[in-house]
Amino acid sequence: MMRTDCTPRVTPDIFPIIGWDPLPAALSRPETMAHIRDCGINVFMTCRGPREAITRQLDLAAAAGIQALVCDPRVHTSRREGWQDAFRAAVAEYGAHPAVFGWDLFDEPTFSEWQNRPTVPDVAETVALARALAREKVAYVNALGFGGRGKDAFADYLEGYARIIQPAFLSFDCYPISRIPPAGEWAAWYAADCGFEVPELGAYYRDCYWESWETALQVGRATGLPLWGFVLAVPHEHSIWFYGPVTEGTVRLEVFTALAYGAKAIQYFSLPTPAQCAHYEDAILDADGRPSARYDIFRRVNRRLALLGPRMRDFTVRGVYHTGERLPSGTRRFRAERYGSDSSHRPVARIEGDPIIASFQADAAGERYLLLVNRHPARAARVQLTLDDGWQAIRIGAHTGEPVQTAGPRLAVNFEPGDGWLFQLRPAAG
């Protein structure tokens, strides 16, 4: 396991719910910060400048009770001569501000030379300097979500990324849903990329999505790094994909998938709507910084996340399984007969019904938990759980975060599209 005593525990007080992409300087207004806070987002990314605007946004954030990743170009990984002095100057300027959550250092570094972008070793130097100057702040770096970019496979990329950069967490983004292309257009690519279609949304889920989570979970276990996951918040065109649509079902599915694989932070791409980009629809905030038509989706989901995230932040994932006729690539099927060699799913004996994700986790005291997730973003689901004799499942309430219902050894569970339910598994009293 990778040595991690060189990194602080980066979020001692909160479960980070991060609104990604720099907030434009023109949106440096108290009402914008109130919209961010009221949506349930507790960390955003500042504008890239000028410096007075960054400071203004930090002051407004502090007044609103939220924090920010500083996006000053001086802290961005660079090959410029004198970058270390510039970095030190930026840390000296902002480091004592109470709203500073950390520094935005780089997004998706690669091992190969590509368009003269900094590589993984370059980013490692920046992370080391950030840690030396401000150990208590987050040195933020985000990895590729799938693919090699200089390595043979995604697992090789993530392992090398973690080993060389030695981040405090493993953040990656892989957006799962894309609109179905017209017949005959990109047919070969679509056939390889499609995991399952969602006709209700005119979209499909990419086959690599859950495989990327499986890979990240394995690398996180091997390196001792917690995972930080992404959720698609803005439909947009990128390369050959048109990511989206974004519905309450897709948002819930991505949030609960992240929690199922042990994520200790959720990041939304994106919070502001990128200005002057015709291939982006409205994000959580529109181009004027006001709540978009989708804003209430995120507010509702974040209310549940604010209850579940802190409770689950110290959980350890013991096993993640999928059910259904067809499983996503790289995932494991739940089977009762696996008891002989893999007991991570005990005391659950059977899961019957619609396709779900079953994540078995344990808290620091060894108490057992089960997170069930409806794997379909547009259809309700129902499953039947059978527990070993003498066990019961205690449902954790969606609106209170407290136990609300006890049942066992058999119980039925109903789900809205993409929804998740957390249960504590305990021996029955008496």
pLDDT band at 4 (very low <50, low <70, confident <90, very high): very low
Looking at the structure, tell me whether residues 245 and 342 fall in a common domain: no
User: Would you say residue 2 has pLDDT above 50?
Assistant: no
Q: Are 260 and 359 in contact (CB under 8 A)?
A: yes
Share of the chain above pLDDT 70, in %: 94
Q: What is the mean pLDDT of residues 4-32?
A: 78
Same domain, 175 and 255: yes
Mean per-residue pLDDT, 376-383:
98
Which range marks the domain in which residue 168 is found? 17-312
Q: How far apart are CA 257 and CA 268, in angstroms?
A: 14
- Tell me, what DSSP letter sits at residue 408? -
Has residue 342 got a pLDDT over 50? Answer: yes
Q: Which residue has the higher pLDDT, 10 or 260?
A: 260
Q: Dump pLDDT digits (tens) for 30-80.
A: 999 999 999 999 999 999 999 999 999 999 999 999 999 999 999 999 988
Across the range 343-360, mean pLDDT stands at 91
* Cβ contact 348:358 at 8 Å: yes
209: tokens are 């999505």
- Of all residues in the chain, the percent with pLDDT exceeding 90 is 81
Q: Are residues 247 and 346 in the same domain?
A: no
Residue 277 and residue 129 in one domain: yes
Instruction: Looking at the structure, tell me whether residues 257 and 325 fall in a common domain.
Output: no
Same domain flag for 287 and 423 = no
Q: Are residues 340 and 299 in the same domain?
A: no
The mean pLDDT value of the chain amounts to 92
Question: Which of 106-120, 132-146, 154-168 has the lowest average pLDDT?
Answer: 106-120
Q: How many helices (H) and strands (E) does the chain have?
A: 9, 22
Say if residue 13's pLDDT is above 70.
Answer: no
Asked, for residue 5, whether it belongs to a domain, the answer is no
Residues 6+ apart with CB under 8 A from 389: 409
Q: What was the pLDDT predicted at 338?
A: 55
Spatial CA neighbour of 86 closest among 124, 126, 57, 139: 126
pLDDT of residue 11: 47
DSSP string, 345-356: TTTEEEEEES-E
Residue 269 confidence class, pLDDT cut points 50, 70, 90: very high
Determine the length of the chain.
430
Most confident of 249-258, 321-330, 403-412: 249-258
Say if residue 195 is in the same domain as residue 67. Answer: yes
Domain boundary among 312, 335, 355: 312
Mean pLDDT, rounded, for 327-343: 77
Q: What is the pLDDT of residue 430?
A: 59
Angle at alpha carbon of residue 173, lines to 114 and 361, rounded to 5°: 140
Sheet bearing 177-179, strands edge to edge: 194-198, 203-206, 177-179, 241-243, 236-238
> Residue 5: pLDDT above 60?
no
CA distances to 12, 44, 117, 330, 369 from 133, rounded to whole Å, are 19, 22, 24, 40, 39
Q: CA dihedral defined by 87, 91, 94, 95, rounded to 10 degrees? A: 160
Residue 307 sits in the same domain as residue 323: no
Listed residue (104, 124, 110) closest to 44, CA to CA: 104
pLDDT at 159 over 60: yes
- Of 282, 297, 312, which one is at a domain's C-terminal end? 312
Name which of 67, 140, 176, 154 is nearest 110 in CA terms: 154
Residue 7 has pLDDT above 50, yes or no: no
What's the confidence (pLDDT) of residue 9?
Answer: 35
Point out the domain boundary residue: 263, 292, 312.
312
Query: Dihedral sign, CA of 114, 120, 125, 128?
Result: positive
Residue 11 CA to residue 261 CA, distance in Å, equals 19
Residue type, 111: F
Identify whether 11 is part of a domain: no
Question: Is the model's pLDDT at 341 over the cut of 70?
Answer: no
How many domains is the chain partitioned into structurally?
2
Band of residue 152 on the pLDDT scale cut at 50, 70, 90: confident
